[in-house]
Amino acid sequence: MPIDSSTYWTDSTCVLRYLENKETRFQTFVANQISTILDQSEASQWRFVDGSLNPADEASRGMTGSELLSNRRWKQGPDFLMKSENEWPQRPIDLGQIPNNDPEVKSNSTVCANNVIGQDSISKVIDHYSSWNSLRKTIAWLLRYKSKLREAVRRSKSGMPLLSEKTVTPITVLEINGAESAIVKHIQQQCFGNDQVELRKKTSSIYKLDPILVEEIVRVGGRLHNAPIDIDTKHQIILPKNHHVAKLIIQYYHHQSGHSGLEHTLSLLRQKFWPVQGRTTVRTVLNECFSCRRRQSPVAKQKMAQFPEDRVTPLKPTFSFVGVDCFGPFEVRRGRSTVKRYGVLFTCLTIRAVHIEVSNSLDTESFLNALRRFIARRGQPEEMRSDNGGNFVKGEKELKKAINDWNQSQFTNFFCKEISNGHSTHLWDHTMVECGNGA
């Protein structure tokens, strides 16, 4: 069936307004949805259907199976589709404007060029950056732009043709230094003013630093004026207390020195800058340094589990519950040769008593012998714990195998005799069970 035209229906006037709008910019999600829709359809193909006539409601609101079976509108579409196009629902005559407070509308964030000139705008630019380097670079670009504009004005006034530059050269070190001075001048102007006489009065907040003004920059005075060293080093640039830029500069030196501590950062910083209440400010910056905090945070500790019953049961005889491990080897002389010997350490899990046996080697036989000697001396343990050492595991296997190999009927006879003799059977039962568990 050849298709001449398609019509799309929606019961949302809001969506129709969005689709027909050409000026307003929307938030990302809505903007993407609208552009997807308009890639595949024209805004004129979209028509309005009243919510009560919209069969899409059936799907979105849900219905039971029997309702679905008897529902004509879902299966065949709304009745008006069968009628001629004139009788289709008409869209409201005036959709109206998109309201200004619509949360999907992007607020107009264009910055006016002449706004940037204002004092506050420079502070805004400075506050925007969280890195001393990017701030310096940005200001350097702005200053370059400013000087180009000035140059252009000068040329046009004197009737010279304007220079046209095809390539943009990267920012130079000189420009970065210029930007640095410009930033420092700006913040000093804000915080101290630039009247040397005022600065040197006793009422000044930096009176104690004996401030001097060199090329419009407020610097520490001091007595090193005649020293043959760099001007930055003998007359450091004063940075206002707790200022954003001061923090950026401290951060910069802290990062440059590989996240060094307070004193080192401060000494590097003071080769050029003198932040008022420097130590406190540096400490604040260092405390806020995420990388340092992560590295210096205490090691996470495992919450230990509850002790097992055998560690906390005091009423049983010593060495009822035993932990076992091997240590060594030790070089031991035998005749003219040296041989290796190991220690087998048995420890009572309740009172931490220790019993040590010598083991000739790490093999199973030696361990079983050591175990036998231990039992002969200290009594039968109820339960033994060890790590997963080869000799222990194998020892346990061999014990199990040995028990299986025992003549079970002989045992039965033996126990029957013991019971009839009136002995306490408890101990024997007990031993059997524990042997059965394996050492």
Q: Footprint of Zn ion on this chain (CB under 5 A)?
A: 259, 289, 291-292
Which residue's entry shows tokens 């359809």? 41
* Minimum CB distance to Zn ion smaller for 132 or for 392: 132
Burial readout 378-390 (b: 16 or more C-beta within 10 A, e: otherwise): beebbebbbeeee
Beta bridge mates, 346: 324, 355
Least spacing, CB of residue 272 vs Zn ion, in Å: 20
**Please, which residue, 252 or 346, has the CB nearer to Zn ion?**
252
CB of 276 to Zn ion, least distance (A): 22
What are the structure tokens assigned to 397, written together? 């296997």
Q: Which is nearer to Zn ion, 251 or 391 (CB)?
A: 251
Nearer to Zn ion, 234 or 283 (CB): 283
- Nearest distance in Å: CB 298, Zn ion: 17
Rounded Cα distance between 406 and 391, Å, is 22
C-alpha separations of 388 from 46, 313, 329, 401 in Å: 74, 25, 18, 19
Distance in angstroms (rounded) separating the CA atoms of residues 327 and 358: 10
Nearest approach in angstroms of CB 268 to Zn ion is: 13
Q: Helix 278-288 vs helix 244-256: angle between axes, to the nearest 10 degrees?
A: 70
Measured at the alpha carbon of residue 405, what is the angle toward residues 399 and 408, in degrees to the nearest 5?
Answer: 115
Q: How far is the CB of 179 from Zn ion (least distance, A)?
A: 25
Angle among Cα 15, 16, 19 to the nearest 5 degrees reads 85
State the residue for tokens 């000087």.
Answer: 147
Total residues found in the chain within this entry: 439
Question: Between residues 261 and 390, which has the closer beta carbon with respect to Zn ion?
Answer: 261
Looking at the Cβ atoms of 289 and 375, the one nearer to Zn ion is: 289
- Give the shortest CB-259-to-Zn ion separation in angstroms: 4
- Smaller CB distance to Zn ion: residue 61 or 295? 295
Helix segments in 192-270, DSSP class H: 196-199, 231-234, 244-256, 262-269
Q: Which is nearer to Zn ion, 291 or 413 (CB)?
A: 291
CB of 215 to Zn ion, least distance (A): 33
- For residue 439, give the nearest of 319, 335, 353 by alpha carbon: 319
Beta carbon nearer to Zn ion, 259 or 385: 259
Comparing CB distances to Zn ion, the nearer of 286 and 349 is 286
In the numeric block, the tokens 């060293």 are attached to 229
149 to each of 152, 173, 326, how far by Cα in Å? 5, 21, 84
CA 336 to chain centre: 64
Phi, psi of 278 (to 5 degrees): -55, -50
Q: Considering the complex, state which of residue 253 and residue 342 has its C-beta at the smaller distance from Zn ion.
A: 253
* Of residues 182, 197, 89, the one with CA closest to residue 141: 182
Pairing label, strands 237-239, 273-275? parallel
The least distance separating Zn ion from the CB of residue 153, rounded to whole angstroms, comes to 46
Min dist CB 286 to Zn ion, Å, is 6
Rounded distance between C-alpha atoms, residue 122 and residue 139, angstroms = 9
Cis geometry, peptide bond prior to residue 329 (ω within 30 degrees of 0): yes
CB of 296 to Zn ion, least distance (A): 9
Contact assessment for residue 136 and residue 176, using Cβ atoms and an 8 Å cutoff: yes
Q: How far is the CB of 42 from Zn ion (least distance, A)?
A: 57
Residues 266 and 282: beta-carbon distance below 8 Å: yes
Residue with Cβ nearer Zn ion (259 or 341): 259
Closest distance of CB 10 from Zn ion, Å: 55
CA separation for the pair 439, 436 (Å, rounded): 8
